[in-house]
């Protein structure tokens, strides 16, 4: 019998998890990826991304990815207004770092290898267009992350995030991270190392001014004792709302579905979780929506909290949006 077809647009973590799960359900899965290779936008990577990982996340998505995640809780600096602060890590929210990009040690490459083993077919250098969407199979998952193109095709309302980052290869392989909060951003900055990559990012909801970047650079030099010759500008597009479906026709996944932890913007855990939920939704809309609501229902409430006077995004406020996996 001919296999049912599925299309996944975007080979980031959410698209790859969706593709693997759909292939395991017996579908013939094709992935369109606009870049010429795995690992997302090459300008941003290789990079080190920090995220808490709930202990049952990998069981839920059906893919064991512990090899990609390193616990940095023993080598973690928390700097608020130029002062080192002790912040207890809430139970179940142990922070991990993972490598992103196209190197063999990255999360992307690991998921890609698993997807290939499951028989997923990849089309690299293929930017999805309106015509592709019009001809897409009934099972289509859109997982285009922080890229602008899908917002040009769809009518999804979006917000733009901006920032600056620096990256360097270093000899030290120890997983480490620092988080910086202060007047230089309404969000925060972080630095992280894993697999010999040092990565630092100043993240902001608005354009970063020269003064704010200079203040952040000074903090990085002071606490991490590292300097960069070159800081690169970054812009990312995120949806203004959380939605699992677009036009009742396409399933959304990862960033595009708004599955980003609301306090500190951890998107990796969200992308992995969301990939599984999208695969469920692509085959059973009602069940997928129930799963989406179970994990993501608290996100709009948590985003609203951000607008309250005096709000400050410390880990205890991260909340239990999707780190607690109820055991079934
Ligand atoms: C610089 C930077 C630092 C970050 N740091 C952290 C961090 O420390 N911790 C954390 O948890 N999160 C972090 N994030 C966020 C995290 O990277 C995202 O939440 C996560 O990658 C979302 O996964 P995704 O699968 O939804 O999308 P992505 O990983 O963005 O993947 C989307 C894929 O779709 C492809 N694509 C886009 N448009 C098209 C198209 N039209 N056709 C075909 N393919 C397309 C892209 O090339 C890409 O490969 C960071 C993001 C950036 C940019």
Q: What is the CATH number of the domain that holds 67?
A: 3.50.50.60
* Number of compact structural domains in the chain: 1
* Residue 216 placed within a domain: yes
As a whole number of Å, the CA-based R_g of the chain is 19
Spatial neighbors of 299 by CB under 8 A, at least 6 apart, are: 242, 258, 259, 260, 262, 321
* Residue 31 placed within a domain: yes
* Residue 328 placed within a domain: no
Q: 262 to each of 180, 307, 312, how far by Cα in Å?
A: 17, 12, 12
pLDDT for position 327: 36
State how far the Cα of 147 lies from the Cα of 236, in Å rounded to an integer.
6
State how far the Cα of 216 lies from the Cα of 210, in Å rounded to an integer.
10
The residues of the chain scoring below 50 in pLDDT are 315-328
By CB atoms closer than 10 A (0-12, 13-18, 19+), residue 216 is buried
CB 237 within 8 A of CB 158: yes
CA of 325 to the centre of ligand 1 (A): 24
Q: 155 to each of 33, 252, 290, how far by Cα in Å?
A: 21, 13, 24
* Residue 138 placed within a domain: yes
Residue 59: give the domain boundaries: 5-317
Taking residue 21's Cβ as centre, other Cβ atoms within 10 Å add up to 25
CA of 85 to the centre of ligand 1 (A): 30
* Residue 183 placed within a domain: yes
* Residue 39 placed within a domain: yes
pLDDT for position 313: 58
CB 255 within 8 A of CB 243: no
* Residue 322 placed within a domain: no
Confidence (pTM) = 0.94
Quick one: tokens of 17? 């998890």
Bridge-partner residues for 160, per DSSP? Answer: 237
- As a whole number of angstroms, the longest Cα–Cα distance in the chain is 65
State how far the Cα of 103 lies from the Cα of 142, in Å rounded to an integer.
24
* Residue 326 placed within a domain: no
Ramachandran class of 285: left when φ > 0, alpha when ψ lies in -120 to 50, beta otherwise: alpha
State how far the Cα of 123 lies from the Cα of 103, in Å rounded to an integer.
19
Report residues whose beta carbon is within 6 angstroms of any ligand 1 atom. Answer: 9-15, 32-35, 40-41, 44, 47, 49-51, 127-128, 143-147, 149-150, 165, 201, 234, 236, 254-255, 260, 266-268, 271
CA of 283 to the centre of ligand 1 (A): 24
Q: How far apart are the first and last CA of the chain?
A: 34
Beta strands at 139-142 and 5-9: parallel, antiparallel or unpaired:
parallel
pLDDT for position 12: 98
pLDDT for position 319: 45
CA of 145 to the centre of ligand 1 (A): 4
Pocket test residue of 147, 194, 239 for ligand 1, highest count of atoms within 8 A of CB: 147
């Amino acid at each position: 019998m001919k296999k049912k077809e599925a299309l996944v647009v975007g080979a980031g973590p959410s698209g790859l998890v969706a593709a693997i799960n759909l292939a395991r359900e017996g579908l013939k899965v094709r992935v369109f990826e606009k870049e010429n290779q795995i690992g997302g936008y090459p300008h941003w990577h290789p990079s080190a991304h920090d995220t808490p990982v709930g202990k049952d996340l990998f069981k839920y998505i059906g893919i064991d990815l512990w090899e990609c995640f390193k616990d940095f809780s023993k080598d973690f600096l928390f700097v608020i207004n130029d002062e080192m602060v002790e912040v207890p890590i809430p139970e179940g929210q142990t922070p991990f770092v993972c490598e992103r990009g196209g190197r063999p040690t990255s999360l992307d490459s690991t998921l890609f290898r698993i997807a290939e083993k499951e028989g997923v077919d990849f089309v690299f250098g293929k930017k999805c267009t309106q015509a592709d969407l019009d001809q897409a199979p009934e099972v289509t998952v859109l997982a285009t992350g922080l890229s602008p193109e899908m917002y040009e095709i769809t009518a999804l309302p979006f917000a733009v995030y901006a920032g600056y980052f620096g990256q360097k290869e270093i000899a030290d392989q120890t997983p480490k991270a620092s988080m910086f909060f202060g007047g230089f951003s309404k969000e925060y900055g972080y630095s992280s190392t894993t697999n010999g990559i040092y990565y630092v990012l100043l993240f902001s909801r608005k354009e970063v001014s020269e003064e704010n970047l200079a203040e952040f650079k000074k903090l990085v030099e002071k606490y991490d004792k590292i300097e960069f010759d070159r800081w690169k500008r970054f812009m990312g597009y995120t949806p203004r709302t959380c939605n699992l479906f677009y036009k009742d026709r396409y399933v959304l996944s990862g960033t595009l579905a708004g599955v980003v932890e609301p306090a500190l913007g951890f998107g990796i855990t969200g992308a992995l979780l969301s990939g599984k939920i999208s695969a469920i939704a692509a085959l059973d809309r009602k069940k997928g929506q129930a799963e989406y609501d179970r994990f993501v229902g608290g996100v709009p409430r948590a985003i609203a909290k951000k607008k309250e006077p005096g709000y400050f995004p410390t880990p205890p406020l991260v909340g239990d949006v999707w780190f607690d996996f109820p055991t079934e």
